[in-house]
Amino acid sequence: MGKGLVQKILQRYTEEEIKEVGQIIPCKVSKVLANDITAPLAIKSFEKMGAREVFDKDRVILVCDHFTPNKDIDSAEQVKMVREFAKKMGIVNYFEGGDVGVEHALLPELGLVAPMDVVVGADSHTCTYGGIGAFATGLGSTDIAAAMVLGETWFKVPSSIYVDLQGDLQTYVQGKDIILNLIGLIGVDGALYKALEFGGTTLSSLNVEMRMTIANMAIEAGAKVGLFPVDDIAIEYVRKRGIRVDSPLFPDEGAEYEKKIAINVSNLRPQVACPHLPENVKPVDEIRGVHVDQVVIGSCTNGRITDLRQAAEILKNRKVKKGVRLIVLPATPTIWKQALKEGLLEIFLEAGAVIGPPTCGPCLGGHMGILASGEVAVATTNRNFKGRMGSLDSFVYLSNPWVAAASAVAGEIIDPEKL
The mean pLDDT values, 10 residues at a time, for the chain of 419 residues are 92 95 97 97 96 97 94 95 97 96 97 98 97 97 96 97 97 97 96 97 97 98 97 97 94 93 96 96 93 98 98 98 98 98 98 96 92 98 94 97 98 95
Domains of the chain: 25-155 (3.30.499.10), 156-268 (3.30.499.10), 271-418 (3.30.499.10)
What's this model's pTM, rounded to 2 decimal places? 0.96
- CA distances 140 to 26, 33, 34, 253, 401, Å, are 17, 11, 10, 35, 31
Rounded CA separation 59/304 (Å): 24
pLDDT at 97 (0 to 100): 92
Rounded CA separation 145/94 (Å): 16
> 246 near 236, Cβ under 8 Å?
no
Secondary structure of 83-122 in the HEC alphabet? HHHHHHHCCCEEECHHHCCCHHHHHHHCCCCCCCCEEEEC
CA 394 to chain centre: 23
Q: Please return the burial class of 240, using the count of CB atoms within 10 Å of its CB with bins 0-12, 13-18 and 19+.
A: exposed
Q: Please return the burial class of 374, using the count of CB atoms within 10 Å of its CB with bins 0-12, 13-18 and 19+.
A: exposed
pLDDT at 1 (0 to 100): 66
- Residue 128: which region, alpha, beta or left (left: phi > 0; alpha: psi -120 to 50)? alpha
pLDDT at 288 (0 to 100): 84
In angstroms and rounded to an integer, the radius of gyration of the C-alpha atoms of the chain is: 20
